[in-house]
Chain A
Amino acid sequence: MSQVLENTAPPIVAASQKGSALRRSLIGGLVTSLPVLAIGLAILNFAPTYYTFLALGAFVNLIVVVGLQVFMGNSNIANLGHSAFVGLGAYGVAILSTPLAMKKLSIPNAPFGFATLQLDPVSSAIIALIVVGVIAAVSGKVISRLSGVTATIVSLALLIIVHSVFLNWTDLFKGNQAFFGIPKVVGLPWMLVFSVVVIVAARLFKDSRWGLQLRASAQSPQAAAALGIDAKRLRLMSWVLSALICGLAGVLYAYFAGTISPKLFYFQMIFNTLAMLILGGMATVTGAVTGVIVLSVGLEFIRSIESGVTIGSIQLPQLLGLSGVALGVVIVLCMAFRPSGISGRYELDELFSRYFRRNAK
């Protein structure tokens, strides 16, 4: 089997000074988040409420996909368990910040005194993220030791473990029922701020020495090991960072929707976000952003057909499963014809600078 890794980005040329490299990737991250910012501001100012709600969901997906990119794009190992961390983040703040009156209704028998505990949203979010970080560190210890395929299967096992705990520990997580009454404190402006922060953070990690070393070790494990790169430690590092970003997405989701349930954080989310990342291209942060924008719009269009539309005088029937077929087809076609996704190997700012350099000559 050939070992050509089309999905990893080319290593950036080492800059002569450390400061300029940092500044360049910081600016690069900001350039990448420009389209997101533009779309967000347009929706904030012009769109009706229904679209704002859709946009909030899309921004949560954006943060999840960027989080996924941090691990998958740099280590080139498929992760099929990231929505577990989204769920943990969301349930973490749900348990900590829901008002006491609501808790009496929803989880009156919660263990460890959670039934009589109510924290403000910010400290709840911080504690939830710490919990996500600890769980990620423990699971990452196992996953970073394993080879690619096995690591993927174990990430799936992690998803099933977490989902099954959500479903069965009814005293704490309310089981299959929706957990409601979480304070709705996050609107589109905050979502935009966090999206930009996350995009910049992912870019900084990718361009940092750790990101570079991890990508090198994904391309050639042997050569990287010979250079003294500790791939296990780097995989663990990117796994934890990826989990924290996904956990943050969960926190934000809980704070804007106010109601969560376990099935939101299961395979459906994995399908959606994975298809977005693959379509956009997992080697770059730009790819993650592109994929989310294209598929969010595309899926919304397909969903409107799925629920039955009237064209002229013909009423089409409900077509349940159409969006699933579309997602799968996107993944299969992408993998067959353009494994590096829409955006390919270069970030947005790298594309710009290449373009201008070519024109200047």
Chain B
Amino acid sequence: MDYALQQLLNALAFGAEYSLVALGLAVVFSIMGLVNFAHGEIIGVSAYSVFLAAALGLTSPFVAVLLAVAAAALAAIAFERVAFRPVRYAPTTTGLLTAFGVSIVVQNLFMLLISPKPQSVSILNGLNQMWFVGPFAVSSLQVMELIVSGLTILALVLFLNRSTLGLAIRAASRDFATVRLMGIRANRVIATAFAISGALAGIAAVFIIARRGSVSPDLGFSLVLKAFVACVIGGFGSLAGAAAGGMLLGFIEVGLLVALPQEYGGFKDALTYVIIVALLVYRPEGLLGQRVELGDKEI
């Protein structure tokens, strides 16, 4: 029973992290059709700024968390301004390749300017403790991950549904031209979307640093690959799909870890992707995506 509960918590915590990152991707994609491969490097910028601040003498974990989120949001806005604005109205493939290029540049800048080797960061280690709840030992980090992700998603939903800017963002994901005709600035809507996406990445970065205790140039890259897969299973561009896809991915991964014998543990990633590709054979548009035929009018 203890074991089962522990694995359930694992799955929920992994899923929550994937959902956070996948939501960041989906917010940007739904508005400007950009497949943001550089999302992992936003996480990277956030993690490295915590590393630098700690190296310069920052000791308060609370400030470090704020710094991580702020740095990520600013990095996202900066990426948009520098690299993605010139390709804003270009075809999806162009944007995708631009983002891929940005990702390579930033990853290699970390290597060039800091170090290709992982650097240790201990400032957030305090978040990762064992809590004893009755007879169970649970990791504080996992519980926090779950709660914080839940609250963040709630806040995002409230923002999108209750505020004017949120309404503009939702409208922009349907028909950007009309939103601009209503007198809303395109740059503001897009900058807000990137800031949200960055903040979500920053929160994910906090958990990654706390769990690993170190930063490395490729720290966000593999996570973002998984988040993309989460978006794909959920249906690309759908926010609910991204969150659900992330959770499902967490459960598939932990399920495989439990089910696979020790010596085949290395095949976990391969099998996860095989399962997902198999799901796509049955639902090419994703679990929550709508099947759109060519020439359909949007309803």
A-side residues, CB < 8 A to B, are 1-7, 76-78, 80, 142, 145-150, 152-154, 156-158, 160-161, 164-165, 167-168, 221-222, 225, 271, 274-275, 278, 319-325, 327-332, 335-337, 339
Say if the beta carbon of B236 comes within 8 Å of chain A. yes
From B29, B100, B276, B277, A331 is in contact (CB under 8 Å) with B100
Known pairs A150-B232, A164-B269, A168-B267; A328 contacts B102 (CB<8 A): yes
A335 vs B37: C-alpha distance when bound (angstroms)? 15
Say if the beta carbon of B223 comes within 8 Å of chain A. no
From A6, A157, A323, A337, B276 is in contact (CB under 8 Å) with A157
B-side residues, CB < 8 A to A, are 29, 32-33, 35, 83, 86-87, 89-98, 100-112, 116, 176, 217, 225, 228-229, 231-232, 236, 264, 266-267, 269-270, 273-274, 276-277, 280-281, 284-286, 294-295
Nearest opposing residue in chain B for A323, CB measure: B108
Q: Would A78 and B96 count as touching, CB distance under 8 A?
A: yes
A324 vs B284: C-alpha distance when bound (angstroms)? 34
A1 vs B286: C-alpha distance when bound (angstroms)? 22
Q: Would B274 and A161 count as touching, CB distance under 8 A?
A: yes
Residues of A within 8 A of B273 (CB): 157-158, 160-161
Residues of A within 8 A of B276 (CB): 157
A278 vs B267: C-alpha distance when bound (angstroms)? 33
Separation in Å of the B217 CB from the closest CB of chain A?
Answer: 8
Separation in Å of the A24 CB from the closest CB of chain B?
Answer: 29
Known pairs A146-B284, A153-B232, A164-B266; A1 contacts B98 (CB<8 A): no
Residues of B within 8 A of A275 (CB): 101
A274 vs B99: C-alpha distance when bound (angstroms)? 13
Known pairs A320-B112, A324-B111, A332-B83; A149 contacts B277 (CB<8 A): no
Known pairs A168-B270, A328-B105; A77 contacts B284 (CB<8 A): no
From B90, B93, B103, B109, A76 is in contact (CB under 8 Å) with B93
Q: Would B100 and A225 count as touching, CB distance under 8 A?
A: no
Q: Would A322 and B112 count as touching, CB distance under 8 A?
A: yes
Q: Which 8 A-B pairs have the closest CB atoms?
A: A331-B101, A324-B108, A321-B111, A328-B105, A168-B266, A328-B104, A321-B108, A321-B112
A-B contact pairs, 15 of them (CB 8 A): A78-B93, A142-B277, A145-B284, A147-B236, A147-B285, A148-B92, A150-B280, A153-B228, A161-B270, A168-B267, A222-B295, A321-B109, A321-B217, A325-B112, A330-B101
Residues of B within 8 A of A150 (CB): 232, 236, 280, 284, 286
A337 vs B33: C-alpha distance when bound (angstroms)? 19
From A78, A146, A325, B280 is in contact (CB under 8 Å) with A146
A33 vs B47: C-alpha distance when bound (angstroms)? 47
Q: Would B108 and A325 count as touching, CB distance under 8 A?
A: yes
From B102, B109, B225, B295, A160 is in contact (CB under 8 Å) with B225
Known pairs A142-B280, A320-B112, A320-B116; A149 contacts B92 (CB<8 A): yes
From A4, A152, A154, A271, B277 is in contact (CB under 8 Å) with A154
